[in-house]
Structure 1
Amino acid sequence: MTRVLLTAHILEQLLEAGHQVVTTVRSEEKAQKIREAHNDLGRDVLDVVIVPDIAREDAFDEVVKTPGLEAVLHTASPFHYKWTDPLTEVVNPAVIGTTGILKALHRSAPGVKRVVITSSFAAILDETRLEDPAMVFSERTWNPVTIDDIHRSKPTAYRASKTLAERAAWDFVASNKPSFDLVTICPPLVLGPVVHHLASLDAINTSNERVVQMVRGDWKSAIPETGPPFLWIDVRDAARAHLRALDRPEAGGRRLFATAGRFCNAEIAKAARDNVPELKDRLPSAQVTGGEYPPADKFFGYDCSETNAILGIDWISLEKSVVDLITDIRSFGV
């Protein structure tokens, strides 16, 4: 059994695996929801600590002093486009949140032996080569975006935040030689069911918004363009990837590119039509077009074979992920 500091919510799988967990949240309201959902667990098994602003340099200074910490999963970084200033609202929380916790661990948590950080495929891709069939993105590929690019567009600002935060993490480890090793995980679009005690339909994550729109009937007459990156992973597999990165020695010092493969909005619509016939009046029929893959000469390649060899995950199918998410969405009254 390992005592793990979790800075977001891969919580259920950690508890199921028998770990002791210290998890951080940003508000007392969210903390109370977690406590109520796990009211049979004592603080020795699950402790909830409020860290209201991860963009503060000292945000994690106290929680890392928790006795017995052996590992850290840092997954807290904003992914949404509901902001006005990319530097203060997107880049700084990502970069300072990441470097802040690494500095605090280096100073005050000598018992921590592994840190797993959630990065993103956003830190791998190159916006200028998403339509280049000669380009093969892999664990070794880095997004060339810089801080000077953050005002280009909201997607670029988000991609910069993930790239700069992950680079800062690897630079910190290289420069400071801490007692822990580092693993970063770079998932693409994350789909799948939500944790009910932490979610509401209005606050559902950005990745899942497209399925909410479909269930509400917004795709009835036309399926929207999928948009890059045409790669995805189920949220439960993303959590599983973090746990395996935590437990497997060979993951240490590695950058992992975790994806179940390609998807498009047309496939999401088909999964819904085939499995949720009661939504027929809201869903696009088989004759409705849109949301398809680009032609082969406008499609990048990818290679995540190194990651698959380390993690050994049998990825959840897109069909199951979509159907399970629709079940959740409907439970909110849609």
Structure 2
Amino acid sequence: MAETVLVTGGTGYVGGWAIVALLERGYDVRTTVRSLTKADAVRAAVAPRDQLTFAVADLMDDDGWDAAMAGVDYVLHVASPLGDETSKDPDALIIPARDGALRVLKAATRAAVKRVVMTSAANAASPASYAEDGITDETLWTVDDPKLPAYRRSKTLAEKAVWDFMASYDGPTELTTVLPGAVLGPILSADNVGTTRIIQRMLSGKMPGAPKIGLEVVDVRDLVDLHIRAMLSPEAAGERFLGTGEFIWMREVAAALKAGLGDQAKSVPTRELPNFVVRLASLTDPSLRALTISLGRRNRHSTAKAERILGWKPRPAAQTVVECAQSLIAHGVARDRMAG
């Protein structure tokens, strides 16, 4: 009989690709949705298959999680709770992230699943300032500081909470965490562009220029592959794995789009914006505020551990951003609908 993998958040960008990859590998997949009304959209995105079933569960509610875990062999916890990113109170993001992760892990341990692989973020293993030189690895933990963006704090504190729980847990369930960088790549549906919105904005011409920000681009398909490798490898139990991909400046992203798309990238900005312009714009544009900490960033993360232990190798960043853009164009969502 095929093993069963529970994927949290089947409506999400990473969740959808995780479902696709697991089904292709012959697993039975169960995915959580907050309402069964979302099930048809997931089926349409990943192609209907008998091996895909649904469970209703919300990261902010205990109900449904024990039923979702019944008979499950592995859990890929890739979902992110719907915290309020516009709130000035950091707890609006921190509490949902931390409590949601613990809720999933505790339900998994009650069901004695073999292993939980949880998606954290590279910013949970970063120095206090991205402007610091050097390459860091999984041994570094971000020091919680109220001055840091709430999203970065939420990822760090959520991951710390699950590892603290496992430190006092005595049972068969194992934990592994994966820490991705900027997740880009093709989309499965026009209704879910996920974290590709930055490429949308570049294609739409809504960006006046490229901010001096470096992204560690990981293709969503490679990220899912890393999760599955971490799920299966005996050596991955109890480990953190950075999955950041290649470092690329935003101006290099623009150049890759121009080279790969030709006239379809005519609206992509090529000039680099001075840092002070971005900081001034962030005073009136909330979406830019979280970016200001990354201006001029030099710190990078090492994926040597994932490559050595799991045999993981991500594809080049330029390939990912071009295929991301091609997918957005093919799905008719190259124009950033959020930007009007």
CA contact (8 A) 2:178 2:242 kept: yes
* Cα distance in 2 for residues equivalent to 1:242 and 1:97: 19
Partner of 1:269: 254
Partner of 2:7: 6
* Cα distance in 1 for residues equivalent to 2:259 and 2:157: 41
After superposition, give the CA deviation of every residue in 1:212-268 in whole Å (9 maximum; x if it has no partner). 11110124x5223326xx322111111110011111111111110112121111111
* Unpaired stretches in structure 1, ≥5 consecutive residues: none
Structure 2 length as normaliser, TM-score? 0.82
Q: Which of the numbers 189, 195, 206 marks the counterpart of 1:218?
A: 206
How much is the aligned-residue C-alpha RMSD, in angstroms? Answer: 2.5
* Cα distance in 2 for residues equivalent to 1:79 and 1:143: 23
* Cα distance in 1 for residues equivalent to 2:274 and 2:234: 40
* Cα distance in 1 for residues equivalent to 2:48 and 2:187: 21
Partner of 1:77: 80
Residues 1:235 and 2:224 are matched in the alignment: no
Q: Which of the numbers 62, 70, 74 marks the counterpart of 2:67?
A: 62
Q: Where do 1:1-334 residues align within 5 Å? A: 1-8=2-9, 9=15, 10-37=18-45, 40-42=48-50, 45-51=51-57, 53-58=58-63, 60-64=65-69, 66-67=70-71, 69-78=72-81, 82-84=85-87, 86-87=89-90, 89-107=92-110, 109-110=111-112, 112-126=113-127, 128-133=128-133, 135-145=134-144, 149=146, 152=147, 156-196=149-189, 199-200=190-191, 204-205=193-194, 207-219=195-207, 221-226=208-213, 230-284=215-269, 288-290=271-273, 299-330=298-329, 331-333=331-333, 334=335
* Unpaired stretches in structure 2, ≥5 consecutive residues: 10-14, 276-293, 336-340
- In the alignment, residue 105 of structure 1 is paired with which amino acid? A
Structure 1 length as normaliser, TM-score? 0.83
Aligned partner of residue 177 in structure 2, secondary structure: strand
CA contact (8 A) 1:79 1:158 kept: no
* Cα distance in 2 for residues equivalent to 1:237 and 1:223: 26
CA contact (8 A) 2:177 2:241 kept: yes
CA contact (8 A) 1:31 1:50 kept: no
Aligned partner of residue 306 in structure 1, secondary structure: helix
After superposition, give the CA deviation of every residue in 1:7-51 in whole Å (9 maximum; x if it has no partner). 031110010011111111223332121234567522xx2111122
Task: Sort the Cα spacing of 1:34 and 1:281 in 2 relative to 1 into closer, same or farther, 3 A.
Answer: closer
Q: CA deviation at 1:122?
A: 1.6
Percent of matched pairs sharing the same residue:
31
CA contact (8 A) 1:258 1:308 kept: no
- In the alignment, residue 194 of structure 1 is paired with which amino acid? I
* Cα distance in 2 for residues equivalent to 1:16 and 1:216: 34
Aligned partner of residue 144 in structure 2, secondary structure: coil
Aligned partner of residue 168 in structure 2, secondary structure: helix
- In the alignment, residue 97 of structure 1 is paired with which amino acid? G
Q: CA deviation at 1:83?
A: 3.0
- In the alignment, residue 129 of structure 1 is paired with which amino acid? S
After superposition, give the CA deviation of every residue in 1:70-120 in whole Å (9 maximum; x if it has no partner). 11111111488743264554212211111112212222x12x111100011
Between the two proteins, the alignment pairs up a number of residues equal to 307
After superposition, give the CA deviation of every residue in 1:253-291 in whole Å (9 maximum; x if it has no partner). 111011212111111111111111122531235xx3348
* Cα distance in 2 for residues equivalent to 1:37 and 1:271: 27
CA contact (8 A) 1:77 1:94 kept: yes
